[in-house]
Each structure stands twice: as C-alpha cells, then as structure tokens.
C-alpha cells in the first residue's frame, strides 16, 4: 500500500487540527495584547483635569483609555419603533428565523438564522453634565451592549404540506423573532478606546493598533476578568489541540519508521535470495564454452535468456536481471523474456 494512503487519516486530522491550533494561537496573542493594553489603560473622569491629562501624552493622544459617562445625543435621538417613550443613539433591528433543521448526523436541532439586521445611529457624546467627549465610529465597537426594547416571537402553524416538505427538505419552520435593541439616551456606560482632540473638544474612537473599541455597561475590572477567562480557555484549547497534533505527528513518524524497517528487511531478503540463486546457477554452469556461446555482457556465463519480441539470445540470467528495457544487440524494447535452452 502506498505510504500516503496509510497515513491519510492522520494527515486529515493534522490538517484540521493545525488550522484550529493556528486560530487559537492567533486569538490568544490578540487576547493577551488587549489584556495588557487594558490593564495599563488609565481610568479617567470626564472633567476639567482631562485636558491637562491629555497634554502629557505624545501628540495629545492617549492610545487606550477607560472613560465612564452618560450617553447624550448630539442631535435628535432615535425613537424606538415599538415603544414611543424610549429614545436612544444606536438602534439595532434584527429578524431571526427559528427553524428545526436536520443535522448531518440525522438529528433534528433548533437553529436560528439572522435574516435581516439593520443598524441606525446618531452622533452622541459621553457626558458628565458640563464636559462632553464625542464617541466616533461607535458601530465599529467590538463590544456594544444594547438594551432589549422589544423581543417578539411569532410562531408559525404549519399545515400538512409544510410537514411533508419539512420532512424531505430537512428544515421545519418554527417562527420569526423580531428584536429591537438600543443604546438608550441617558444610560451610563464605559467607553474604552483612543482619546484625542477633535475640532470641538475631545473624542474617543477605535484605536489604531488593532485594539478594540468597547462600549459596555461592564466596568474595567469585570472586562479584565472576562478577558482573563477567555485567555485561560484559549490556553486549555491550545494544550488540547497541541497534544492532538503531537500524537498525530508521532503516529505518522511511527508508521514511516515501521514502513522503512519493513522495506529494508525486504530488500535484504531479496538480495540474499538473488545471491543464493546466482551461486546455484554458477555451480551448474558448463565451464568449457566457445566464445559464441558466452553472454555478450559479462563474456563469462553461457547465454541463457531469450528476449522477446526480438528473439535475441545474448544474455546470461545474472546480466538479464540488470538489463531492464532494451535488447543490447538490436536496441528493441524488451517486452518479455524467457529461459532459452541451447542443446
Ligand atoms: Zn552475463
Ligand atoms: Zn534484439
């Protein structure tokens, strides 16, 4: 059996495993980077000291900063579609389809698919009464905590045809979920991002060196805890997938060594058998031969083999083993050979 087909299982496992492992390693380094940046990020109040604080940094940019304040729209706020008394600065409307789908393993499982998602936003600031910081590019936030304003589920009542169709297609409709979430006007949130000067004052925005912008109701310490636990989880995953990779590689190596040892043993045996045959032939050969009766290659042993289709009898059995493709007399391709008995 070809070596590759022997290790195809291990190769597939190793391929998938290294993809996952690579992803985990990348996530871990990202997680550590954020964790370090967040740990050293200063927590600043929105007040008159902020102006002095920002002057201490090169080109008046604080690369990563934690600021808490009240959400205040700069213009007219967005009014909720479902509750007229609720206003906010970011609105997310989602429609999700709930289905029961047959998995590849043949089981039916609940699944949700987002059919439609819309964001609306209006410029806003984080405020502390007198002082404001504008939040730029809020929708780019990696963590955006929104309040659920409305969450409705409309179940579908399937008919007989739907049941039959569902059985064959593997998807049964359960219903539609319509959801409205908002970052409410006046909510108290933590913004973590890059603080710099803008034309009208100060602004916070997504940092430049790949760090995420957070707009969250969580505090710095609870965010740190969350990041630390995902870092620990990633470490566990890396150990698990790393072990799988090591085991699969060890198995490939073991199979390769086994195969090599087997091949070496086979070759040794072949050589020994060939040597034995040569010796036996040498003992039975007629020693007193005329020149025309001798093999044209070694001119030592008698001619013993007929080459086909050309029909030349010109080789001894020993030399015939080494001449693979063409007749040494007429250069025609050798398709088969047979022992020749000259009496
Ligand atoms: Zn010969
Ligand atoms: Zn020939």
What is the CA(269)–ligand 1 centre distance, in A? 23
CA of 294 to the centre of ligand 1 (A): 8
Which residues are paired to 326 by β-bridges?
333
Centre of ligand 2 to C-alpha 299, Å, is 17
Q: Which ligand is nearest to the CA of 312?
A: 2
Q: Given the DSSP bridges, would you call strands 214-216 and 188-198 parallel, antiparallel or unpaired?
A: antiparallel
Query: Which residues, in sequence order, are bridge partners of residue 133?
Result: 126, 202
Which pLDDT score is estimated for 16? 94
Span from the CA of 313 to the centroid of ligand 2 (angstroms): 8
pTM over 0.85: no
Q: For residue range 200-256, what is the model confidence (pLDDT) as tens digits?
A: 889 999 998 889 999 999 989 999 999 999 999 999 999 999 999 999 999 999 999
Contact 198, 134 (CB under 8 A): yes
Provide the pLDDT for residue 248: 92
Distance 267 CA to ligand 1 centre (A): 23
Tens-digit pLDDT profile for residues 139-192:
999 889 999 999 999 888 777 777 787 777 778 888 899 999 999 999 999 999
Provide the pLDDT confidence category of residue 128 given band limits of 50, 70 and 90: confident
CA of 310 to the centre of ligand 2 (A): 5
For the chain, strand residue ranges (E) read 43-44, 61-73, 78-79, 87-102, 108-121, 124-128, 131-135, 143-144, 147-155, 171-184, 188-198, 201-205, 214-216, 305-308, 313-315, 336-339
Count of CB atoms within 10 A of residue 112's CB?
11
pLDDT category of residue 1 using cuts at 50, 70 and 90: low
Residue 13 Cα to ligand 2 middle (Å):
53
Interval between CA 49 and ligand 1 midpoint (Å)? 102
Contact between 301 and 280 (Cβ < 8 Å): no
Q: Are 10 and 251 in contact (CB under 8 A)?
A: yes
- Tell me the CA–centroid distance for residue 311 and ligand 2, in Å: 6
Dump the DSSP string for 123-160: -EEEEETTEEEEEPSGGG-SEE--EEEEEEEEE----H
Which residues on adjacent β-strands are paired with residue 79? 87
Angle of helix 8-40 relative to helix 220-284, nearest 10 degrees, comes to: 150
**For residue 92, what pLDDT band results from cuts at 50, 70 and 90?**
very high
Distance of CA 296 from the midpoint of ligand 1 (Å): 6
Looking at the CA of 334, name the nearest ligand. 2
Residue 252: its H or E element: helix 220-284
What is the distance in A from the centroid of ligand 1 to the CA of 34? 77
Q: Which value, to the nearest 10 degrees, does the dihedral of the CA atoms of residues 324, 330, 332, 334 take?
A: -40
User: How much distance in Å is there from the Cα of 292 to the middle of ligand 2?
Assistant: 16
CA of 301 to the centre of ligand 2 (A): 19
């Amino acid at each position: 059996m070809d070596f590759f087909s022997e290790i195809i299982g291990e190769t597939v496992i190793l391929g998938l495993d290294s993809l996952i492992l690579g992803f985990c390693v990348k996530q871990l380094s990202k997680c550590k980077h954020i964790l370090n940046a967040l740990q050293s990020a200063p927590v600043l109040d929105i007040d008159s000291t902020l102006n002095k604080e920002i002057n201490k940094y090169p080109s008046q940019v604080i690369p990563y900063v934690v600021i808490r304040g009240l959400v205040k729209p700069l213009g007219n706020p967005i009014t909720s579609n479902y509750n007229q008394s609720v206003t906010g600065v970011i609105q997310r409307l989602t429609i999700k389809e709930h289905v029961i789908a047959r998995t590849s393993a043949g089981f039916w499982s609940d699944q949700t698919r987002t059919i439609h998602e819309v964001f609306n936003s209006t410029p806003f600031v984080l405020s502390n009464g007198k002082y404001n910081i504008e939040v730029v590019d809020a929708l780019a936030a990696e963590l955006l905590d929104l309040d659920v304003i409305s969450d409705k589920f409309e179940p579908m009542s399937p008919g007989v045809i739907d049941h039959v169709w569902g059985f064959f297609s593997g998807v049964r409709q359960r219903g539609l979920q319509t959801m409205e979430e908002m970052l409410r006007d006046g909510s108290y949130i933590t913004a973590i991002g890059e603080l710099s000067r803008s034309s009208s004052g100060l602004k916070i925005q997504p940092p430049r060196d790949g760090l995420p912008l957070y707009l969250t109701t969580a505090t710095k310490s609870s965010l740190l805890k969350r990041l630390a636990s995902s870092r620990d989880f990633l470490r566990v995953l890396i150990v698990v997938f790393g072990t799988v990779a090591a085991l699969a590689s060890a198995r490939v190596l073991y199979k390769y060594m086994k195969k090599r040892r087997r091949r070496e043993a086979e070759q040794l045996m072949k050589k020994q058998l060939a040597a034995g045959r040569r010796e036996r032939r040498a003992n039975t050969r007629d020693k007193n031969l005329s020149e025309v009766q001798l093999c044209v290659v070694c001119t030592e042993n008698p001619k013993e083999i007929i080459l086909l289709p050309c029909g030349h009898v010109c080789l001894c059995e020993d030399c015939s083993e080494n001449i693979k493709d063409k007749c040494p007399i007429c250069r025609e391709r050798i398709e088969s050979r047979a022992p020749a008995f000259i009496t």
